[in-house]
């Protein structure tokens, strides 16, 4: 086989392992930083404070106001706190929402970021930032927003509720599945994608059975790192486009929407890219779309868009919005075929084998 590909490694430092959240101070020192602004959501304010406490004076301020979709108004409030604290870096503890706030601050100030992820969303290893201004969501890619240091401590995911763990894990798996047929894929991203899927396939049932099992949590977070890394490295296609549409225009929750859509978008694309998806399909009984559906159902994942409050009439508009602009996808599609994919996900139908 003749090979031709581009490979660009993203310059981030990853520290992985139970208990490693105590290494924030060391990471700050290596970055030459002395005054961190510690970020979290209101819900995780106590976890943020627990991370900040041992930092002493190195934690110059805290901002526990991160929310979903990175609204510019929240970023401005956090920037004011960063100025007040004279911060020279941000430490973001949380899921994609808190990571997004740290990235939004870095975009505007160039402050270095240390991210301590507590979900499987993967934002911490991408150069992608989605922001909302007056209800409109825009996405950009910039090296400025790629966090410098990521500290993965599975102990911080022990209390991630099982339902969120499942949805967030499937959200991560979606990055890996689409990376396998990305037009700019390369051998390294494909290896990482399959390994990420394998790790989450093994870990999620164990997390559901025993949420405090640190080995299962560790394997899930390891998978999330791999899946996030490929999200940051290659272009995403139909699946991410549809989820972006459903989140941006219909206010559907991020991880749950990914979880529901994944088997349907992959079943649709599998017909056009069976060889590229074969290593992943082998992990799920030979067919990836239906295999992921069975996997998600066994985990108790959300299975139907209708259960998220989307009306059947919304599907027409979603199909129209998602097909307005062309983008790379292994299987050609039009409004009609996308409408069918959405219908199947709305009903929660098992994809055909």
Answer yes or no whether residue 248 interacts with ligand NAD by CB under 6 A: no
Applying CB under 6 A, among 62, 75, 97, 329 the residue interacting with ligand NAD is 97
Which residues lie closer than 8 Å to 265 by C-beta, 6 or more apart?
174, 238, 239, 242, 341
CB nearer to ligand NAD: pick between 171 and 323 = 171
Applying CB under 6 A, among 48, 61, 65, 94 the residue interacting with ligand NAD is 94
Site mask, ligand NAD, residues 143-162, x = CB under 6 A? -------------xx-xx--
Site mask, ligand NAD, residues 32-61, x = CB under 6 A? ---------x-xx-----------------
- Cβ 103 vs Cβ 113: under 8 Å: yes
- Say which residue the tokens 């390294």 belong to: 188
Residues 164-183 contacting ligand NAD, CB under 6 A: 164, 168
CB nearer to ligand NAD: pick between 231 and 344 = 231
CB nearer to ligand NAD: pick between 102 and 291 = 102
Which residues lie closer than 8 Å to 318 by C-beta, 6 or more apart?
242, 245, 246, 249, 250, 310, 342
Applying CB under 6 A, among 65, 71, 96, 223 the residue interacting with ligand NAD is 96
Site mask, ligand NAD, residues 249-288, x = CB under 6 A? -----xx---------------------------------
Answer yes or no whether residue 69 interacts with ligand NAD by CB under 6 A: yes
What minimum distance in Å lies between the beta carbon of 194 and ligand NAD?
20
Q: Looking at 16-24, 75-83, 117-125, 294-302, which segment touches ligand NAD (CB under 6 A)?
A: 117-125
- Say which residue the tokens 């992985």 belong to: 16
Site size for ligand NAD (CB under 6 A): 29
What minimum distance in Å lies between the beta carbon of 179 and ligand NAD?
13
Q: Looking at 19-27, 31-39, 88-96, 198-206, which segment touches ligand NAD (CB under 6 A)?
A: 88-96
CB nearer to ligand NAD: pick between 243 and 281 = 243
Contacts with ligand NAD, residue ranges (CB under 6 A):
41, 43-44, 68-69, 94-98, 100, 118-119, 121-123, 126, 128-130, 156-157, 159-160, 164, 168, 231, 254-255
């Amino acid at each position: 086989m003749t090979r031709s590909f581009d490979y660009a490694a993203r310059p981030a430092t990853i520290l992985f392992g139970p208990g490693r959240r105590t290494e924030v101070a060391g990471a700050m020192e290596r970055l030459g930083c002395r005054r961190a602004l510690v970020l979290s959501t209101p819900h995780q304010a106590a976890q943020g404070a627990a991370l900040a406490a041992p930092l002493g004076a190195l934690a110059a301020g805290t901002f526990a106001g991160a929310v979903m979709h990175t609204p510019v108004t929240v970023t401005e409030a956090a920037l004011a706190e960063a100025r007040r604290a004279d911060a020279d870096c941000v430490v973001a503890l949380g899921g994609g929402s808190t990571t997004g706030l740290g990235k939004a601050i870095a975009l505007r100030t160039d402050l270095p970021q240390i991210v301590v992820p507590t979900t499987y969303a993967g934002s911490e290893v991408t150069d992608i930032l989605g922001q909302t201004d007056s209800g409109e969501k825009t996405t950009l890619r910039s090296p400025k927003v790629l966090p410098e240091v990521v500290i993965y401590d599975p102990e911080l995911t022990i209390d991630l509720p099982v339902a969120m763990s499942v949805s967030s894990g499937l959200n991560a798996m979606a990055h890996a599945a689409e990376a396998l047929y990305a037009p700019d894929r390369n051998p390294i991203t494909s290896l990482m994608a399959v390994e990420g899927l394998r790790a989450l396939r093994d870990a999620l049932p164990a997390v559901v059975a025993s949420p405090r099992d640190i080995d299962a949590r560790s394997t899930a977070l390891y998978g999330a790192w791999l899946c996030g890394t490929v999200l940051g490295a290659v272009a995403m296609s139909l699946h991410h486009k549809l989820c972006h549409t459903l989140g941006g225009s219909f206010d559907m929750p991020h991880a749950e929407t990914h979880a529901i859509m994944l088997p349907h978008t992959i079943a649709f694309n599998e017909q056009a890219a069976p060889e590229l998806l074969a290593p992943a399909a082998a992990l799920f009984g030979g067919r990836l779309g239906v295999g992921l559906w069975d996997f998600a159902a066994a985990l108790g994942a959300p299975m139907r868009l209708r259960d998220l409050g989307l009306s059947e009439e919304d599907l027409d508009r979603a199909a129209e919005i998602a097909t307005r602009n062309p983008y790379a996808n292994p299987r050609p599609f039009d409004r009609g075929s996308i409408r069918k994919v959405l219908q199947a996900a709305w009903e929660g139908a098992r994809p055909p084998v």
